[in-house]
Amino acid sequence: MLINKTLKGRAAKPAGGFTMVETLILILIIGIFCAIASPSWLMFINNHRLKVSVDRAYSLMELARSNAKRDKIAWQTSFKQVGENLQVAVHKAEITPAQVPANQWKNLEHKIKIHTHETTLLKVNENNKATGNKTIRRATFNFRGCAVYNGTDECGQTSLQAKGRLTLFHPDLKNSERCVIVSTILGHKRISQRQRKALDGRYCY
C-alpha cells in the first residue's frame, strides 16, 4: 500500500528538463552573445597576428645582422608579398632573392601585409637590383653589422636609404599599423606603432 502511494506521488510530479520555449530562448540568448563577442574576438586575434608578425620580422632582421658579424660577410632579410601571405627569408646578400630556395621563404601570420606608403626599406627586384619589377623589400647588414645600401659598403659610407622601416598591417584592422625601424646606420632597430600625428608624412615612427 505504501509503495503504491509512493509511485503515484512520483508520477504526479512534472518531468524535469527544459520546455521547447525555454530551449528556444536559451538558443536566442547564446546567439546574441556570440554576435556581440565575435567582432571583439576577431579583433583580438588579428591584433595578435600583427604583433607576432612584427616581432618575428624584428627577430629575423637581428638574425641577419648577427650572421653578418659572425661570418664577416653581408647578410640580408628579404620580404615579399605572395597572395595573402607575407613571406620572409634570411640569406647572404650575395645570393639574390630569386636564388633563395622556396623552402627557406617562411610565411608570417595570415593576411598580414606590407603598408607600402609607410614602408621605407629599399625596394628591389628578384635579382636584388633597384630596377624593373620591384617586389622585394630588403634590410642589408655588412660584415660589421651596419645597415648598408649595398653589401660591399662600409659603415658610414652608404646611402641613407640603408636605414628605413618595415610597416605591417592587417586589412581588417583600422589604423593599427606596427613597424620595425632600422634607426641607425650601425644597424640598431626598434619596434613602434601608429602614432596620432604624422611625422614626415608617416604615422609609424
Distance CA 60, CA 65 (A): 9
C-alpha gyration radius of the chain: 28
Backbone angles phi, psi at 195, to 5 degrees: -100, 165
Instruction: Give me the number of domains the chain comprises.
Output: 1
Q: Does residue 53 sit within a domain?
A: yes
Dihedral (C-alpha) 189, 192, 198, 203: value to the nearest 10 degrees? 100
With b meaning 16 or more CB within 10 Å and e meaning fewer, what string describes 94-111? ebbbeebeeeebeebbeb
List Cα–Cα distances, 162 to 16, 144, 165, 183, in angstroms: 74, 14, 10, 10
Whether residue 75 is contained in a domain is answered as yes
Please report the pLDDT score of residue 15 as a whole number: 53
Domain extent for 113: 20-204
pLDDT of residue 30: 75
| Contact of 87 with 107, CB cutoff 8 Å | yes
Under 8 Å CB-to-CB from 145, ≥6 apart: which residues?
65, 66, 68, 69, 186, 187
Residue 8 inside a domain? The answer is no
| pLDDT tens, N- to C-terminus, the chain (205 residues) | 544 544 455 555 555 666 887 677 777 777 676 666 567 788 999 999 999 999 999 999 999 999 999 999 999 999 999 998 999 999 999 999 999 999 999 999 999 999 999 999 999 999 999 899 999 999 999 999 999 999 999 998 877 778 899 999 999 999 999 999 999 989 999 999 999 999 989 999 9
Q: What is the CATH number of the domain that holds 71?
A: 3.55.40.10
Q: Note whether residue 15 is domain-resident.
A: no
Asked if the structure places residue 2 within a domain, the reply is no
49 part of a folded domain: yes
Q: Does 62 reside within a domain? A: yes
How many CB atoms are located within 10 Å of the residue 33 CB?
10
